[in-house]
Structures are given as structure tokens and as C-alpha cells.
Amino acid sequence: MGEKIAPITSDCSKELQYIGMRIQYFRKMRNLTQAQLAEKVSINKNYLSQIESGSTSKAISLPLLIQISKALKVDLSILVDLNDLEKSKNEIRQQFEEIKSFFDEVKRLNSDLDDMIAEMDKSYS
């Protein structure tokens, strides 16, 4: 009897999307169509499309990922390496912190200008 595949929960959707993007990248680098890669790993082209877009509602098995990595001639570890994803999150966080710091500085400068204008108004009165 076949095993029931667990549905994907939203807590790993970003990671699956990232893995799908990598699969798509290496597929295109190998000049393979979705149909060609799907045939090599014995899956439906529509399922491969869902994997690449991160929109699949069912779990991707490890054996399938291994087959895909072999068909693409890419180490499995490269397909599933999520370090760049975390790095991207950290880079975005750092950029937001820099933007926040910039606006904090603008607020401080505005306050200083308001104080200078108030001093000028007092001296001309």
C-alpha cells in the first residue's frame, strides 16, 4: 500500500520555494525543459512546475530530491543548502536597521534645525 504524503505546512514554504528556485536555475543551466527533467526523474511535468515555483501542496521526498540532483548533475547539498536563505534574511534585516538609523538621524537633524530656527527668531525679536 502507498504511503500517504503529508501536506506542506506554511512554516517551511519559503525553504521549499528556495529549493525550487535552485532546481529551476540548474535545470535551465543544463538546457533542460521541465518536461525533459520530469521525464528523467519519472514525475509529471506539472508536479515539477509546482516544485520549482514552491507551490506544491505535498511534501517532496528525499529520494526525489536525490533523483533530481543526479539528473541535474548537482550535489544534493547544493540544492538544499539554506544558508543563503538565512544570509538573505540577515542582509535584509541589516538594511532595514540602516534605513531606520538613517531616519533617526534625519529626525535628529530636523530637531536641531527647529532649535536653530527658534534661536534665530529670538535673536531677531
Q: What is the pLDDT of residues 6-40, one digit of tens each?
A: 555 557 788 888 899 899 999 999 999 999 999 99
Measured CA to CA, the distance from residue 67 to residue 17 in angstroms comes to 18
Q: What is the pLDDT of residues 74-103, one digit of tens each?
A: 999 988 888 776 666 677 677 768 878 888
User: Nearest-CA neighbor of 68 among 44, 46, 40?
Assistant: 40
User: Residue 41 to residues 21, 27, 44, 55, 114: CA-CA distances in angstroms?
Assistant: 17, 12, 9, 19, 68
Assigned C-alpha cell, 23? 532546481
| pTM exceeds cut of 0.75 | no
pLDDT at residue 1 in the model: 46
CATH number given to 10-80: 1.10.260.40
> 27 with 67: CB under 8 angstroms?
no
Spans of all domains in the chain: 10-80, 82-125
